[in-house]
């Protein structure tokens, strides 16, 4: 396995990483060379030098194509992250003297409460029409990992933040947990769902919720539940429910349970609620536009 130390990353030229990714995308050295406007011998030499520097073989070379080795797959992931950071840093420096617009990257958990973020951004864009936002969806672990690595500016999460690492704003309202099922299911006749109703059912839920939220609700009885599958996007889980693969534990107002839908939502009893938070790293240095957006969030959420 290839391990990356800071000094090794520094030695690797950014240009060579871009070359490597283009070859990985094209799967062909000639097409990559043409796309990059370099000669194939030059590109081949750069890749051989890179393999020698890392001490690992990155490509399986065929007569007409190339594919990545396991080490090459690892480098591809690391190179994408490194170049994302390089490009983001370059954009930040361009924006230092530009507060008519700019870009902010935000990682978001799924929740109807994201509407508060949308309302703030709508107001913000009226004042800064050149402002652009980039949203990445994921669970708390995924978005905080991107935050820690500097790939996003803020994260919106649905569990209490680590106060030793992050500053935060609490979003108004709460997320209400319940069961998503077909409208013709016998359980749909109930006004709410208790733990005993769930025993014996094939349940679909996020891994994060089954580790934290659901045990908080039902305690030791969580061991009685049959987790059939995990999802991190409610829409995908709702399709599985429609296809008869089980019942989904989810926040309210995420799955389509309207009059034209074949699904319905019933809240858990006793009620289970989860708060949402906007977080950012402590002592984080922001670009001017990002700081202005944070100021706007503080004004509307505090």
Question: pLDDT tens digits, residue range 169-208?
Answer: 999 999 999 999 999 999 999 999 999 999 999 999 998 8
Identify the structural domains of the chain with CATH numbers, from first to last: 6-86 (1.10.10.10), 95-173+276-301 (3.40.190.10), 175-273 (3.40.190.10)
Cβ(213)–Cβ(274) below 8 Å: yes
Is the pLDDT at 80 greater than 70? The verdict is yes
- Strand partners of residue 178: 250, 267
The residue to which tokens 């509407």 are assigned = 115
Q: What is the pLDDT of residue 95?
A: 58
Distance (Å, whole) CA 177 – CA 146: 26
Average pLDDT of every residue of the chain: 88
Q: What is the pLDDT of residue 65?
A: 85
Q: 275-288, pLDDT tens digit by residue? A: 999 999 998 888 88
Closest CA to 64 of 93, 94, 28, 33: 28
Distance (Å, whole) CA 59 – CA 113: 45
Q: What is the pLDDT of residue 29?
A: 87
Q: 208-247, pLDDT tens digit by residue? A: 899 889 999 999 999 999 999 999 889 999 999 999 999 9
Q: 253-267, pLDDT tens digit by residue? A: 999 999 999 999 999
CA angle 195, 233, 206 (to 5 degrees): 35
Q: What is the pLDDT of residue 202?
A: 97
pLDDT band of residue 10 (cuts 50, 70, 90) is very low
- The gap from C-alpha 267 to its chain's centroid, in whole angstroms, comes to 26
Q: 87-123, pLDDT tens digit by residue? A: 777 766 665 555 667 899 999 999 999 999 999 999 9
Is there a cis peptide before residue 166, judged by omega within 30 degrees of 0?
no
Segment 16-25 mean pLDDT: 88
Segment 75-82 mean pLDDT: 86
Q: What is the pLDDT of residue 96?
A: 55
The burial class, CB within 10 Å (0-12 / 13-18 / 19+), for 198 is: buried
Q: What is the pLDDT of residue 7?
A: 42
């Amino acid at each position: 396995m290839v391990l990356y130390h800071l000094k090794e990353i520094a030695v690797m030229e950014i240009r060579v990483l871009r070359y490597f990714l283009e070859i990985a995308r094209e799967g062909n050295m000639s097409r990559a060379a043409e796309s990059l406007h370099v000669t194939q011998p030059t590109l081949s030499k750069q890749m051989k030098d890179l393999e020698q520097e890392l001490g690992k073989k990155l490509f399986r070379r065929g007569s007409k194509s190339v594919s990545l080795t396991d080490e090459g797959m690892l480098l591809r992931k690391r190179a994408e992250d490194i170049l994302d950071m390089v490009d983001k840093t370059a954009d930040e420096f361009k924006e230092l003297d530009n507060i008519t617009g700019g870009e902010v990257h935000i990682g978001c958990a799924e929740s109807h409460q994201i509407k508060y973020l949308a309302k703030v951004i709508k107001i913000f864009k009226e004042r800064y029409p050149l402002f652009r936002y980039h949203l990445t969806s994921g669970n708390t672990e995924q978005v905080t990992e991107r935050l820690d690595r500097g790939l996003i500016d803020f994260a919106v999460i649905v569990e209490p933040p680590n106060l030793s690492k992050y500053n935060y704003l609490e979003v108004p309202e709460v997320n209400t947990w319940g069961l998503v099922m077909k409208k013709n299911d016998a359980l749909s006749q109930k006004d709410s769902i208790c733990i005993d109703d769930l025993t014996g059912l094939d349940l679909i839920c996020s891994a994060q919720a089954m580790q934290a939220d659901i045990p908080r609700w039902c305690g030791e009885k969580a061991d009685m539940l049959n987790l059939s599958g995990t999802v991190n996007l409610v829409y995908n889980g709702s399709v599985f429910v429609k296809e008869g693969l089980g019942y989904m534990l989810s926040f309210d107002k995420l799955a389509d349970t309207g009059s034209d839908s074949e699904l319905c939502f019933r809240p858990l009893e006793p009620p289970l609620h989860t708060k949402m938070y906007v977080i950012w790293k402590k002592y984080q240095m922001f670009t001017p536009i990002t700081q202005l957006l944070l100021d706007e969030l503080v004004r509307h959420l505090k």
